[in-house]
Structure 1
Amino acid sequence: MLRRFLRITALTTGLAAAQNTSIGGFVVLSAVAHDIPPAQAGLLLAAGSVICAACRLAVGAAADRGIGGSMRMVSIMLAAGAVGLLAMAHHARLTFVIGCLLAFGGAWGFPGLVHYVVGRVAGSATTRATATVQAGTSAGATVGPVIFGLVLHHAGQTVAWGSAAGVAAVAAALALWAHRTERALIGASRPGSARDTRSR
């Protein structure tokens, strides 16, 4: 069951990394294409980075207090990121800016929470579990920007960001699936519950 959880989570983070690295790599180029001056496009990237950092701190603090420290919260964040990416596919500048900030917060804010969940679920196997998930993340971060760049070049802004939104939505659905396995694993670790978990 732990291996299944790690495979699903690695696929989740791989898809998520494929689209979130594209945000950082292409947001300035896209902002300029939306008639935003280069200096303001750079400020938009900086603002998005600040929001990303704030979201990571916020979800970490919430998890320390027992609030939202699960793959369900990861799913919610990725879903919010998907909405932001979809807004970035719009031609209006204001919609693009708002979508960009939302995408940075949701689509970029999840990695620390994923590692927290993996560590909590894996227990003594945390090192190997983290390596498995990080392998998926690294693969997505490598391939994603290349594919996004090709789509952007051949199909344009709307299709590229719309496709990224679709990838983020799939990652959100996978995170929700991982949450089901996460709950089963946590239940199996409780005294007297292993038999019930195996029967499921």
Structure 2
Amino acid sequence: MSSAGASPRTESRRPGPGSPTGSGRLVGGGALGGALGVPTMVLVTLVTVLSKGPLFLPGAVSDLLQRDLGLGPGGIGLIIALYWTGSTYGAYLSRRGAGGGVVERRIGVALLATATVLVVTAVWPLVGLWAGAVVGGLVYGYTQPHTNFLLVRRCAPRVQGVAFGIKQASIPLAVLFYSLAVPAIAVPAGWRPLFLVAGLLCAAQGGHLLTFTAARGTRSRARQAAERLTLDRQLFALAAAGACGAAVGNSLGGFLFSSLTHDGNSTLTASLLVSGGSVLAAVVRIVVGRRVDRSPTRPLRLLMLLFLLGAAGTALLTVPLLPAQLLGTLLAFGGGWGWAGLLHHTASAAYPGHEAAATAYTQMGVSIGGALGPLGFGLLITATGHTLAWWSMTALALAACLCLTRAGHSRLD
């Protein structure tokens, strides 16, 4: 057990904006937005969206890649698996957090690495697609605990739940962002310019972070704590729940559309259901965070409720009737994929002084689930069909609840 303290529920223990133990002063700290940490929320959201490029772009332009390179669904699936494998290792590397401008510099360098592989993909796609998946995933997994650290240290305690929700809500919105970029750039100009533009955006943000920290003259400070955070029972339970939940969520994103059309729904109906579910997942992440900020809700109970709703949703997806699939989609996305911000917020609050390390472990769990879930789902579809595959997701959502019941409540509630 770490020596990080006994209870996460005392807000005074968590460094607030501008505190001596925080990670640097806030931009515009005298204004209301700066005092709440709005600039940090914007920064973290941008980093999250940009670092998702190597994952979402190949899927968004999959038809063009198949026409130009012969890359079919199997290749896209391998890219996804490589991305999440890299993310697992990136989160593992980030277990030792750092304070001060070191965090921003590391994020800046990481974004420059993502920019490089995106440009390489545009120039040498047969190398860049695979290298980009691994490096892009590593960058994502590495930067997420660092951005979580910034949220805790720079956002006011009363808005940290919603800050984590906004950050995680940016992921489904990133899908929309990259999808809209296809008709705007890839269709008229080709997929290569789209990768170049994405690379330039990453380079611009990474360069800005490096320039900003250099201009402030921020020096490296001590790591978050002298002792390394050990993986105790509570943290393992959160990571395991995240792995199960991410397997469900990523399988929803990857296979729900094909499942709905397989059951006889039109392409338009399936598109509307998946789009609506994605938006709902983003909204739920923010609303749940706001709920935690404004009331003494116990996070473990709320997490279990979300996983149970997700389990009910995936069970309804086995029924080949549109009303059941409509309700199932909403429950599966809202509950089965709306927990992400709350999970990381709970881990960071439970281990004050070790926020980056704690969320590195939960990010490792999420990344493992992101890699193995869609892979297993696809294999089940091939072997048995969609029905058993969705029942397996129901079982995983219930397994996430079981993991949380084994966590104990000394830290997490």
Residue of structure 2 in register with 1:63 after alignment? 292
Counterpart-to-counterpart distance in 1, 2:276 and 2:388 = 24
RMSD (Å) for aligned C-alpha atoms: 1.4
Counterpart-to-counterpart distance in 2, 1:48 and 1:149 = 21
Query: Which sections of structure 1, spanning at least 5 residues, go unmatched?
Result: 188-200
Aligned mate of 1:135, from 364, 368, 372: 364
Cα separation, partners in 2 of 1:73 and 1:132, compared to 1, 3 Å: same
Identity of aligned residues (%): 32
Q: How much has 1:68 moved relative to structure 2?
A: 2.6
Aligned mate of 1:122, from 351, 355, 363: 351
SS of 1:64's equivalent in the other structure is helix
TM norm structure 1: 0.88
Conservation of the 8 A alpha-carbon contact between 1:35 and 1:93: no
Residue of structure 2 in register with 1:42 after alignment? 271
Residue of structure 2 in register with 1:146 after alignment? 375
Counterpart-to-counterpart distance in 1, 2:311 and 2:395 = 7
Residue of structure 2 in register with 1:83 after alignment? 312
Q: How much has 1:168 moved relative to structure 2?
A: 0.7
Any runs of at least 4 consecutive aligned residues in structure 1 with deviations exceeding 3 A, and if so which?
Answer: none
Residue of structure 2 in register with 1:74 after alignment? 303
Residue of structure 1 in register with 2:391 after alignment? 162
Query: Which sections of structure 2, spanning at least 5 residues, go unmatched?
Result: 3-231
- Post-superposition CA distance 1:52-98 (Å, at most 9, x none): 11111110110101243512211110011000000001122221121
Cα separation, partners in 2 of 1:108 and 1:186, compared to 1, 3 Å: closer
Counterpart-to-counterpart distance in 2, 1:96 and 1:20 = 16
Counterpart-to-counterpart distance in 2, 1:115 and 1:150 = 30
Q: How much has 1:111 moved relative to structure 2?
A: 0.6
Conservation of the 8 A alpha-carbon contact between 1:78 and 1:106: yes
Counterpart-to-counterpart distance in 2, 1:85 and 1:126 = 32
More RCO (CA 8 Å, sep 6+): 1
TM norm structure 2: 0.43
**Residues 1:185 and 2:411 are matched in the alignment:** yes
Counterpart-to-counterpart distance in 2, 1:74 and 1:186 = 11
SS of 1:101's equivalent in the other structure is helix
Larger Rg: 2
Aligned mate of 2:405, from 164, 176, 179: 176
Aligned mate of 1:98, from 327, 343, 363: 327
Q: How much has 1:26 moved relative to structure 2?
A: 0.4
Conservation of the 8 A alpha-carbon contact between 2:311 and 2:393: yes
Conservation of the 8 A alpha-carbon contact between 2:309 and 2:336: yes
Conservation of the 8 A alpha-carbon contact between 1:62 and 1:69: no
Q: How much has 1:186 moved relative to structure 2?
A: 6.2
Query: Aligned pair count?
Result: 184
Letter in structure 2 aligned against 1:62: R
Cα separation, partners in 2 of 1:186 and 1:32, compared to 1, 3 Å: closer
- Post-superposition CA distance 1:92-130 (Å, at most 9, x none): 222112101110000000010011111110100111111
SS of 1:135's equivalent in the other structure is helix
